[in-house]
Structure 1
């Protein structure tokens, strides 16, 4: 039963932390509504027109590449420490080979779609 109490205490502490943070934001944030502050702001570009517009799909490619390299880096560092262990070394090496193969498939897909080319004209 003690394990459930610990989980409940952590959940209550997380909820309390969230509520306190929202209350502090409400109390400390400046309130000055004016027309300039109430306009739509997206990535430093002022909105043009009154209607909704779609974003370029090419940004999804950059997000895809970031995920490939970030996930790869996150998993390679802990793996390097486990590789020295005699019990986990061979299994860990096989698992990392599969992982790197999956990452390379994503990277080759990005290269095939032309996401790795640097276009300086646009």
Structure 2
């Protein structure tokens, strides 16, 4: 490999730095002055009546984490199922162990009451 082979990458990197520098410089030159209407929290056309920092129940976070964990575990089922025909009996055993582990975790979480919304 010669040094000239890396010239397009160097040009692309230099162009990216030039664009980032131009945007940063323009943001310093063209400053907007905040007024009270611009810094108000605004959602769906309704002005806030309650404090914007309110606490959520831990159940909300626990349910969200469990959803993400099980969603990611189910995403692993697709690649296993696609390669199942090529892997044969060993692939089937791996799939069954994985599904058993996921179901076992779900039963454990269910028995602990983590899915109950209090």
What TM-score do the two structures reach when normalised by structure 2?
A: 0.52
Q: Structure 1: 5+ residue runs without aligned partners?
A: none
**Residue 38 of structure 1: aligned partner:** 39
Q: Structure 2: 5+ residue runs without aligned partners?
A: none
Q: Deviation of residue 105 (structure 1)?
A: 3.1
What TM-score do the two structures reach when normalised by structure 1?
A: 0.51
Larger Rg: 2
**Residue 91 of structure 2: aligned partner:** 92
Please give the per-residue CA displacement for 1:30-81, whole angstroms capped at 9, x wherever unaligned.
x573334434679x9947459x654311112221231233113311111111
Q: Relative to structure 1, is the Cα distance of residues 32 and 96 closer, same or farther in structure 2, using a 3 angstrom cutoff?
A: farther
SS in 1 for 2:76: helix
Q: Larger % of helix: which?
A: 2
RMSD, aligned CA: 4.3
Tell me which of the two structures has the higher relative contact order, counting C-alpha pairs closer than 8 angstroms and 6 or more residues apart.
2
**Residue 63 of structure 2: aligned partner:** 62
